[in-house]
Amino acid sequence: MSLALPLEPSRRGACPSLDMPMQTGDGLLARIRIAGGQLDPVRLEQLAVLGGTYGNGVIEITARGNLQVRGLTAALAPAFASAVRQVIDVETGLVVETPPLAGDDPLEFIDPRPLAASIKALAAPFAHRLGPKVAVIVDGNGQIGLGALKADLRLVAVGPDIWLVSVGATLLGTTRRPLDCAGVVLTALASLGLQGRATDLPLADLAPELDDLVSSSAPVRQPVSSPIGRFPMHRGKATGLGLPFGAMACESIAALADGAWRSGISAFRPGPHHSLIAIGGDGSLIEEASQIGFITHPNDPRTRISACIGSDGCASGHIAARAVASRLAPSLAPGSNLHVSGCQKGCAHPGRAEVTLIGRADGYGLVIDGRAGDTPRAVLRADQLETALLAAQG
C-alpha cells in the first residue's frame, strides 16, 4: 500500500491518520482509530510490538482516545500501516465518538451506539466533503462522559428518548429527532467545504429547519468525569487506567496486555483524557498496572499535567519535558494544572494552562495563565522550577 504525502501540521484542518501520517519534529506521526473502539489483549500487545519496531518506542493515547505512534520514517510508514491492518480493523470516515463504556454502562440513559452508527451511515454519501477534523459526539450520559472534548455536533441523552443538541459551543435545546438534527447540521457543514467547522456555521440560517426539531432548553453543563477507577457495567466491572502525559513505552503496554489474561480482562478500550479502559476482570490488574507505571487513581497529579516528548524524541525540544513533568508532579497543588513544553510550539496542550514551562536554549520560560507561545514573564534555571511552581499556585 502506498501512502499519501505526509501532512504539514500547519495546514488548517490537517489531521493525521494511519494512511496520511503528519510530519512532526520527531518524524511522522500516525493516528490509529480502532474500529469498534476496542481490542483484545493479544492485539494490544501486537500493536505495542509494532510501535516499538516501526516508531520511537512509545504508544500515545490522545485526549480523544485514539492511539498514536511517532517517529515513523517515510520509508517505513507504509509497512507500518499494512502491519497494523493485519492486527486490527481501522476506522475511517466521519468521526462519530461514543464514550468507552457505551452499551455496557448501567448509568447511561440509552446506548448511544445505534444512533452513532445511523449518523455515520447518513453522512456516508457526503463524508468526503466534510473536513477531517469534523467530530460528532453521541453520549448516553453515563459514567465516563465526553463533555470535555470539543465537537462540531454533540448529542447528549437526558432521558431514554430525548437528547441535548449542541453545535460547536452553542446549546440549541432538546430534541426527540436527533438523527434529523444531525442531517441538517452535517449537510450544512459539508456545504462549507473541507475547511468548514461548526464555528463557521451561520446558525441563524439553519433556524427554519431546526426549529421544528429542537425545543429550547436551559443551559446544561455535562459533568466532566474521570475515566480512571473502577466502573460497574451491566456485566462485571471495568478498570480505567491513565497514561502519564498520554504516553507509555511500548514494552510497558505489552507488559500490561500480557498480564491482562491473568486478571480476566477480555478487552481494552482507549478512552478520553489519555486513558485505557480494561473490560472485565477482578480488579487485580490495578496493582500490576501501578507497578508498570500507569495512573490508577483519579487524583494523581499527573492527570493534570500536559507534557510533550521534548528533547527525548523531538528535534525541536530543548528539554526532556516528560521527565521534568514527572519531577514537578509532587509539587502541583490539588486542582491546579501545568503544561511542560519542549519548545514554544506547545504541541501537547494548545490551550491555556495555569502554569506553563517552556524549554528554551537559555532555560525554562515561565508563563502564568497562558500558552506555550506567549511571552514568558521569567526565564528560570532547572533548580528554580519547584519554587516557581509553588509560588505561582499561591
Report the nearest approach of ligand SF4 to the CB of residue 321 (Å): 6
CB of 67 to ligand SF4, least distance (A): 17
Residue whose CB is less far from ligand SF4, 305 or 347: 347
Q: Kindly tell me which of 64 and 70 has the beta carbon lying closer to ligand SF4.
A: 70
Alpha helices in the chain (DSSP H): 41-54, 77-87, 113-123, 178-191, 203-211, 250-260, 285-292, 321-328, 385-392
State in angstroms the smallest separation of the CB of 19 from ligand SF4: 22
Binding string, residues 14-53; x marks residues near ligand SF4 by CB under 6 A = -----------x----------------------------
Asked whether 134 and 125 are in contact (CB, 8 A), the reply is no
Only one of the segments 28-36, 174-182, 276-284, 342-350 lies at the binding site for ligand SF4 (rule: CB under 6 A); that segment is 342-350
d(CA 155, CA 109): 12
The count of residues interacting with ligand SF4 (CB under 6 A) is 13
Among 136, 250, 347, 366, binds ligand SF4 (CB under 6 A): 347
Residue 10, judged by CB atoms within 10 A of its CB (0-12, 13-18, 19+), counts as exposed
Q: String of b and e for 142-176 (b: at least 16 CB within 10 Å)?
A: bbbbbbebbbbbbbbbeeeeebbbbbbeebbbbbe
Residue of the chain from 197, 302, 322, 345 that contacts ligand SF4 (CB under 6 A): 345
- Rounded to whole angstroms, the Cα distance separating 349 from 218 reads 31
Q: Cell digits for 36?
A: 469498534
Distance of closest approach, residue 7 Cβ to ligand SF4, in angstroms: 15
Report the alpha-carbon distance of residue 129 to residue 192 in Å, rounded: 8
Which of 346, 363, 370, 376 binds ligand SF4 (CB under 6 A)? It is: 346
Query: Binding to ligand SF4 (CB under 6 A): which residues in 280-339?
Result: 308-310, 314, 316-317
The site for ligand SF4 (CB under 6 A) is made up of 25, 308-310, 314, 316-317, 341-343, 345-347
